[in-house]
Chain A
Amino acid sequence: MTITVYVPNDSSAVSLGADRVAKAITAEAERRGLSIRLVRNGSFGMYWLEPLVEVVTGQGRVGYGPVQASDVTSLFDANFLQGGTHALSLGIVEDLPYLKKQQRLTFARIGKTSPTCLDDYLAYDGYRGLAHALAMSQADIVKAVTDSGLRGRGGAAFPTGIKWNTVLNTDADQKYIICNADEGDSGTFSDRMVMEGDPFVLIEGMTIAGIAVGATQGYIYLRVEYPHAHIALNTAIANAYQAGYLGEDIQGSGKTFHLEVRLGAGAYICGEETSLMESLEGKRGLVRFKPPLPAIRGLFGKPTVVNNVISLASVPIILDKGGDYYRDFGMGRSRGTLPLQLAGNIKHAGLVELAFGLTLRELLYDFGGGSASGRPIKAVQVGGPLGAYLPESQFDTPLDYEAFAAQWTVLGHGGVVVFDDTVDMAKMAKYSMEFCAIESCGKCTPCRIGSTRGYEVMDEIINGHNVEYNAKLLRDLCNTLLNGSLCALGGMTPYPVLSALNHFPKDFGIDEPAQVA
């Protein structure tokens, strides 16, 4: 009997040697005359165990990890194809506590399937949301999304249903759906995991969005740093066209939706939706003034839905199980689940999808297992490079948009970057200003000039020149950036800078107690 072996082709798993492991397993099986079916799956997101090899047995999928190519011979010797015991044995993968304690809605399939195989997608409840949507009126589809309470997962947390409703009710000869796949925030990789690990769920979500608002063309604006996701998306899109899930007359419904991937070119600012549209139009990624809202005048001047990957990938399950099902997860005004990403100096780095409401401390210690270095955790940056640094005293904040905002922090895209006590927070503040200066589109003065001045002021502080005067100047400058910038890049760079200054003044050479910005 042919035994099925899974080896992830997620790019992070590949970065740790998954391709070499897959090759070694195939070669060793051949050498021993054993018949196996090797499937490249997505990653479950337990990256300290990658490359995670699984074997399908009568008891379930038995895991081994982290496996290196040099372990393969001994795995065969230990009879791993029958689930034999080995030093790298993990037991049944879905029973691992890290996975079992999660509430995976958007990530329900990832890791289980071969990402670009449409049959796998269908076998694991794929395209059920679209089937329901095709039987519904446009207004009812939008209502289901509104009822679910889904808010933009890219970071701004704007209610998705309201955005869709505006586009639905704006008359135009052409409308567009854009997926913002310019996941440039450090510490975030959930978009990448979806695109590499379950591209059809994004395609399905975009198709539903197109049908809901009357848009016949979609674009996925993908960052060029994600070549693996590019291949997976293009393969899945071709498969979807071939099976009648994209193109004209989708599944005999008479509805049309075309989808194309467009590559960015290394500009962080193009993750800002108006800059992204400029880029898609073939221009420099300069931020636009709002209004007009993209929902009214967006890409090529037409009504446009711009949603993040996770927002769109959450749509199929909402249409499959209903808005109420999704809304029943979460707390307060943060409904559903958030795929959190544990990164940086953390022992168990990976993807944790949970209903809103868990505290940061539970995430860091119960899931993350503390720092990777074994040293105390000093600061955690949540929400990407424009997110605030949280000190230990804020670790009990529940993961909820409003609870974070109340502490002058941002939950954003759910990226969590952990630093141990060796970090110098003044250096991190300087880096934030440098990053803003490198990535500023240059349209507004506070961001274009302020970031460079901020970098210089931080240099002065780090060199111990007139520290008190310069700290005051830094606050003043941050105030200008915060209130005078056109978009979130300049407007939020003060979050990491001032939170570092307020919570870790000693790193700046200041002994005074923290002043809240």
Chain B
Amino acid sequence: MTAAVDTQALVNEITSALKDKPGALLPILHGIQDAIGYVPPECVPDIAKALSLSRAEVHGVISFYHYFRTTAPGQHTIHLCRAESCQAMGGEALETHAKQKLGIDFHETTADGKFSLEPVYCLGNCACSPAMQIGHDIYGRVSADSFDSALAELEQAELEPSA
């Protein structure tokens, strides 16, 4: 109950701060996703009202862009590059390994809510392929082993009190 009210207050705050920018919808959606991790479908009417758009228009924009999501992500979102340069350096094998290790496919979240896996088409790290991104952190020349240790490091970091 409180969480829902908080979310709505947050969405309204972000929306009213940005709504007067020219072409405000993408900045607003980014603001919401940065704050909450996704764009909750129930906030669509409020955004539409603030921008004098129809709900269909706002929904259309959210669903057009691969980056915006309408469900909560796992604690960490892994973006694994599927593009040509990474394929040339064993990206496909890495993809298979990642899916097996996590037990999920692309666009899914592990049962414990720790990791979401998303495909990405180029991270601009093509000189160090294959590449992936977890949060804002980018990883180059990723092997099955370094994939596993990156995940282990993240899990370890959660166990330790923040230094």
Chain A interfacial positions (CB closer than 8 Å to B): 11-12, 14-16, 45, 47, 50, 183-189, 191-192, 224-228, 262-268, 279-285, 300, 341-345, 349-351, 372, 381, 385, 415, 417-420, 423, 428, 431, 435, 438-439, 441
Contact = CB atoms under 8 A, between A and B. Distances in A.
B60 A417 contact: no
A476 B83 CA distance: 26
Nearest to A189: B124
A293 B45 CA distance: 35
B126 interface: yes
Contacts of B74: none
A312 to B, nearest CB: 18
A385 to B, nearest CB: 6
Interface stretch (B96-104, B109-117, B134-142): B134-142
B128 A47 contact: yes
B64 A226 contact: no
A184 B65 CA distance: 14
B89 A344 contact: yes
A183 B124 contact: yes
B125 A417 contact: no
13 contacts: A12-B138, A187-B83, A188-B124, A225-B123, A226-B124, A267-B64, A281-B22, A283-B25, A285-B65, A300-B22, A385-B83, A420-B88, A435-B121
B131 A15 contact: yes
Contacts of A265: 26, 29-30, 65-68
B64 A285 contact: yes
B158 to A, nearest CB: 19
B8 interface: no
B64 A225 contact: no
Given A186-B126, A262-B27, A300-B22, A439 B121 contact: yes
A189 B122 CA distance: 9
B84 interface: yes
B152 interface: no
Contacts of A183: 122, 124
B61 to A, nearest CB: 5
A342 B26 contact: no
A500 to B, nearest CB: 12
Interface string B17-39: 00000111111011000000000
Nearest to A186: B83
Contacts of A438: 121
